[in-house]
Amino acid sequence: MANDLRFGSVIRDSARQGSSWQHCPEGMLKRRLRDAGLSTIYSNHSFRAAGITNYLENDGTLEVAQRIAGHADSRTTKLYDRRGGVGSNPVRIANC
């Protein structure tokens, strides 16, 4: 429960900071997670993977998930599908 409250402050506080996060959203997220005392193993791709996986687990189709994500190729969308387990399709992310 405490982690949920801290995570809410990560999002809320980042919104107050203006557009400085746009230069390096990955770095901003890592700083916010660290400052809230949460694990920094997560990335913006973690949230995208969670959303796509949740959609697919609830009878969503890959084709619609692809459109929602804005991917030109369904193979890209499949990279975010975590139904096979944590890290089943690891996404490589840039370090900022």
The answer to whether 51 and 23 are in contact (CB under 8 A) is no
Joined together, the tokens standing for residue 25 give: 């959203």
**Which pLDDT does position 64 carry in this prediction?**
95
Q: What span, in angstroms and rounded, lies between the C-alpha atoms of 11 and 24? A: 15
C-alpha to C-alpha distance for 4 and 26, rounded to whole angstroms: 20
Domain residues of the chain, as ranges?
Answer: 2-35, 45-78
CB atoms within 10 A of CB 32: 21
Which residues of the chain fall short of a pLDDT of 70? 1-23, 85-96
The confidence score (pLDDT) of residue 26 equals 79
pLDDT at 27 (0 to 100): 83
